[in-house]
Amino acid sequence: MSFKREVPTTVMSGFALSGVLVLTILNILLQNIPTKIQTAGDELLKLNSSEGVANAVTSVVVYFRGFDTLGEIAVLFIASLGIGLMLESNSKCDIKAEGNFMLQTASKLLFPIIMLFGIYVMIYGHLSPGGGFQGGVIIASGILLLLISHKNFEVPHSVIIWLETLAGVSYVLIGLIGLVVLDKFLGNFLPNDISNMGLLLSGGIIPIIYIIVGIKVGSEMSMIVQNLIKRDGDV
Amino acid sequence: MFEFFNQPEVIKTIVTIGSMALFFVGLFGLLTQKHLIKIFMSIAIMETALFLLFIGLMYKKSFLAPILSDGQTGFTNMNDPIPHAMILTAIVIGMAVLALGVSFAIEYYKLTGKTNIDEMTSLRH
């Protein structure tokens, strides 16, 4: 059976026409935006000065939208759980091919550097571009390098479970402590002076929460990568 | 000659047209392909078009990235941080959901040996 699907030309032309119409409407709308529009982002930029965090994107992700980030991490956890349920059950065999000696030597050289870079991106997320999501994905890419180069390498499952559990629980616990201390979920109860802005120890709970997010994203992405790469052998 | 492209209307038009074009590339693949993994790839391309639209629409010339660095005193003349923050999480979530879909496809192939969606008629009979 062929892999090409026969789509009638009327359907395709209808889609093209609707695309052109949507484009026109969007363009008309966009041309009429006043230049001095007050957006929610401007308000958040003004508010951001009081939190003592140099990276406004981080304070939006972790502080102003912190509850949504908790939900997004839950979505990530559910996706990771689904992949584990789908693929983990019969993944006894490792991948057949082992990396050649160049890949093995290069992975020994590169793996510490990748981990160091990932942890740096994670810890300095409130000062520079980066943060927990990016750092976690970088760490997972280091795990991927080890998985494709060493045949018998396996991410220790119990360690990952404990890391994930601790990260998720401590995120919620920090939020609840803020609820108790400041009467606000994820309230910034640690010292966050503006005079410390730009230092590593600044911003109160924001860097701590981003490191927690990084640990959780890194462990979940590592498990996703391992579950996708370990196969039965016949596939 | 490049000052023409720095006008905000021109930038927004280019971003809109480009991301819609990318979106329709993904939609074309979604409609014409029958391989399950190619369909997931098309959905990923459509996602990427949305990311580019969100980030590109908030670009303003001579505005800085919303990060306070040396020599700056306040959060003035900075880009809107909200699209960056939303797209940042959307990328990770999109990747995880794509991996979930691909794992469904792998498991289906293991069970039945089929990747063509026309042959997936197990529920029809």
Q: Average the pLDDT over A153-161 and give the result.
A: 87
8 Å CB contact between A116 and A135: no
Residue A172 domain-assigned? yes
Q: CB within 8 A of A217, min separation 6: which ones?
A: A73, A76, A132, A133, A135, A136, A137, A140, B92
Of A108-117, A200-209, B54-63, B101-110, the least confident? B54-63
- Candidate from B9, B32, B74 with C-beta closest to A4: B32
**Rounded CA separation B90/B96 (Å):** 10
pLDDT value at A232 more than 60:
no
Scanning A90-119 for CB atoms below 8 A from B yields none
CB-CB under 8 Å, B24 with A16: yes
**Rounded CA separation A35/A33 (Å):** 6
Residue A14 domain-assigned? no
CB-CB under 8 Å, A54 with B67: yes
Q: What is the pLDDT of residue A234?
A: 45
**Rounded CA separation B51/A26 (Å):** 16
Q: Average the pLDDT over B61-85 and give the result.
A: 81
Architecture of the domain spanning B2-62+77-112: Orthogonal Bundle (1.10)
Give the chain B residue nearest A131 (alpha carbons).
B88
The DSSP symbol for B71 reads T
Of A13-17, A49-53, A65-69, A159-163, the least confident? A49-53
Residue A3 distance to chain B (closest CA, Å) = 5
Residue A69 domain-assigned? yes
CB-CB under 8 Å, B109 with A198: no
Residue A19 domain-assigned? no
Q: Average the pLDDT over A202-222 and give the result.
A: 91
Is the CB of residue A20 less than 8 Å away from at least one CB of chain B? no
Could you tell me the CA-to-CA distances from B30 to B55, B103, B117 in Å, in that order?
A: 24, 18, 12
DSSP per-residue codes, A90-143: T--S--SPPP-HHHHHHHHHHHHHHHHHHHHHHHTTTTSS--HHHHHHHHHHHH
CA B98 to chain centroid: 12
Q: CB within 8 A of B108, min separation 6: which ones?
A: B36, B114, B120
pLDDT value at A173 more than 90:
yes
Find which of A23-37, A124-138, B75-89 is predicted with most confidence, using mean pLDDT.
Answer: A124-138
Is the CB of residue A124 less than 8 Å away from at least one CB of chain B? no
Q: Average the pLDDT over B86-92 and give the result.
A: 88
**Rounded CA separation A89/A227 (Å):** 10
> pTM of the prediction?
0.84
Is the CB of residue A89 less than 8 Å away from at least one CB of chain B? no
CB-CB under 8 Å, B96 with A220: yes
**Rounded CA separation A69/A42 (Å):** 21
Chain B residues near residue A83 by CB distance under 8 angstroms:
99-100, 103
CB-CB under 8 Å, A228 with B99: yes
Give the chain A residue nearest B105 (alpha carbons).
A86
**Rounded CA separation A206/A58 (Å):** 8
Please state the domain extents for chain B: 2-62+77-112
Buried b (16+ CB within 10 A) or exposed e, A194-220: eeebbeeebbbbbbbbbbbbbbbbbbb
CB-CB under 8 Å, B65 with A44: no
Place of tokens 């308000």: A43
Residue A43 domain-assigned? no
Chain B residues near residue A137 by CB distance under 8 angstroms:
92, 95
Q: Average the pLDDT over A68-76 and give the result.
A: 91
CB-CB under 8 Å, B35 with A86: no
Tokens of A168: 């998720």
CB-CB under 8 Å, B99 with A232: no
β-bridge partners, B64: B78
Mean pLDDT of all residues belonging to chain A? 84
ipTM greater than 0.90 = no
Q: How confident is the model at residue B125 (pLDDT cuts 50, 70, 90)?
A: low
Residue A126: domain span:
52-81+104-229
* DSSP H/E element including A146: helix A132-149
Q: What is the pLDDT of residues B15-67, one digit of tens each?
A: 888 998 999 999 999 989 899 999 999 999 999 999 999 888 888 777 888 88
Residue A61 distance to chain B (closest CA, Å) = 5
Q: Which amino acid is at A159?
A: V
Rounded to the nearest 5 percent, the helix, strand and coil shares of chain B are 65, 5, 30
Residue A4 domain-assigned? no
φ/ψ of A3, rounded to 5, equals -95, 5
Q: Average the pLDDT over A15-22 and give the result.
A: 84
Helix, strand or coil for residue B68?
coil
Residue A192 domain-assigned? yes
A219 or B89, greater pLDDT? A219
Q: Which amino acid is at B98?
A: L
Q: Which amino acid is at B66?
A: P
Give the chain A residue nearest B22 (alpha carbons).
A19
CB-CB under 8 Å, B88 with A131: yes
Q: How confident is the model at residue B72 (pLDDT cuts 50, 70, 90)?
A: confident
Give the chain A residue nearest B80 (alpha carbons).
A41
Report the domain count for chain A.
1
CB-CB under 8 Å, A46 with B107: no
**Rounded CA separation A53/B80 (Å):** 16
Residue A61 domain-assigned? yes
Q: How confident is the model at residue B118 (pLDDT cuts 50, 70, 90)?
A: confident
8 Å CB contact between B27 and B46: yes
- The full length of chain A comes to 235
